[in-house]
Amino acid sequence: MIFSRLTTLTTLVACFAAVTQASPVSSLERRADTSCTAAADGFASLNGGTTGGAGGIVVIVTTQADLVKFAKASGKHVIKVKGRISITPKGTEVEVTNDKTIIGIGASGEIYQGGFKLNGAENVIFRNLKIGNTYVEGDEEGKTQDWDGIQMDTASNVWIDHVLFEKGGDGLIDSRKDTNFLTVSNSVLQNHNKAFGIGWTENYAHLYNNYVVGAKSYGHYARGKTDMRMENVYFENSKNPITADSTAKLAISGNVYKSTTGTTAKDQGTVFNASSFYKYTLTPSNNVPSVVKAESGPKASICTS
């Protein structure tokens, strides 16, 4: 299980289950919606910021048909998910286009047996949701399909906040093909083998205030030419807490390793300075588990209506 209070990834220059029938949208209006909006931090706060659908059309969706319709619509939309939306066929990834906020109402908003995909999309926010349950029995490696929780290819300015991912068919979060200005915060990734993939890119990655527990394969992996700074990460009951390719750059400080085994990579290369891009606060290392567990995942107090 990985609890992520804040994980940010980017490059700052060019070179980082039932079928639900459709029904009328229960709310559709143009208005400000401050109760369901918030400001992104980390890398998603740069490059003009990540505001999603703020200031655009506000809708409440309860069906797959309406979710699909508004997620790919042109223009700014705040799409509020009310209750569980079961996705069919299982594993379908709903396409999301520019300037969208997809947010659960209270703690009950859920995308069940499906996920989302961004192909070149910009300025997208996912908040206060449960996403997953696309796992195929006996296929822990996800070799029979490519069903991700959120898949991003060449996306920009994306904020994933207060989301619980679990039991995915492939990756829970896949950031690929030079996706940048991405922040993942206050989120839980659990009950899965492939939690957070970063591929086909040369990324800056800043991972801090994270709680990694029960990792059966590895905790954090700096692959390829990733430029990674890792601070105050608490690893518990996990194998291979930190793995790094010889071509990666890695700087580690403030981590805690409790009942861990296997590989724990060391500093290598010259790593970027995160504080030169944005301000952030480190939680004292020994407090990370309690703080992260208290603050992560969907909350009833977020977007109450």
| Res 295 pLDDT > 50 | yes
> pLDDT for 55-67, tens place per residue?
999 999 999 999 9
Q: Which CATH number characterizes residue 258's domain?
A: 2.160.20.10
Residue 30 lies in a domain: no
Quote the pLDDT of residue 31.
44
Name the residue among 117, 60, 62, 112 with its Cα closest to residue 90: 112
Quote the pLDDT of residue 133.
87
* Higher pLDDT, residue 6 or 203: 203
* Rounded-to-integer distance, Cα 100 and Cα 69, Å: 12
**Exposed/middle/buried for residue 248 (C-beta within 10 Å: 0-12, 13-18, 19+):** buried
Residue 134 pLDDT grade (very low, low, confident, very high; cuts 50, 70, 90): confident
Quote the pLDDT of residue 190.
78
> Domain range holding 65?
46-295
Quote the pLDDT of residue 170.
73
Residue 270 lies in a domain: yes
Share of the chain above pLDDT 90, in %: 57
Residue 36 lies in a domain: no
Q: Which whole number is the average pLDDT over 100-119? A: 96
Entry pTM: 0.85
Q: Which whole number is the average pLDDT over 179-204? A: 79
| Res 11 pLDDT > 70 | no
Quote the pLDDT of residue 143.
72
Q: Which whole number is the average pLDDT over 21-44? A: 60
Residue 237 lies in a domain: yes
Residue 29 pLDDT grade (very low, low, confident, very high; cuts 50, 70, 90): very low
What is the average pLDDT value for the chain, to the nearest integer?
Answer: 85
DSSP string for residues in the chain: -EEEEEEEEE-SS------------SEEEE---GGG-----GGGGSTT---TTTTSEEEEE-SHHHHHHHHSSSS-EEEEE-SEEE-SSTT-EEE--SSEEEEESTT--EEES-EEEEES-EEEEEEEEEEE--PPTT-TT--S----SEEEES-EEEEEEEEEEES-SS-SEEEETT-EEEEEEEEEEES-S--EEEESS--EEEEEEEEEES-SS-SEEE-TT-EEEEES-EEES-BSSEEE-TT-EEEEES-EEES-BS-B---BS----GGGT----PPPGGGHHHHHHHH-S--TTSS--
Number of domains within the chain: 1
Quote the pLDDT of residue 276.
94
Residue 290 pLDDT grade (very low, low, confident, very high; cuts 50, 70, 90): very high
Residue 242 lies in a domain: yes
> pLDDT for 234-289, tens place per residue?
999 888 999 999 999 999 999 999 999 999 999 999 999 999 999 999 999 999 99
| Res 32 pLDDT > 80 | no
Residue 302 lies in a domain: no
Q: Which whole number is the average pLDDT over 189-203? A: 71
Quote the pLDDT of residue 201.
67
* Rounded-to-integer distance, Cα 299 and Cα 106, Å: 6
Quote the pLDDT of residue 99.
98
The region that residue 48 occupies, defined by phi over 0 for left and psi between -120 and 50 for alpha, beta otherwise, is left
Quote the pLDDT of residue 148.
85
- Distance from first CA to last CA of the chain, Å, rounded? 30
Name the residue among 95, 62, 48, 55 with its Cα closest to residue 77: 55
Quote the pLDDT of residue 213.
84
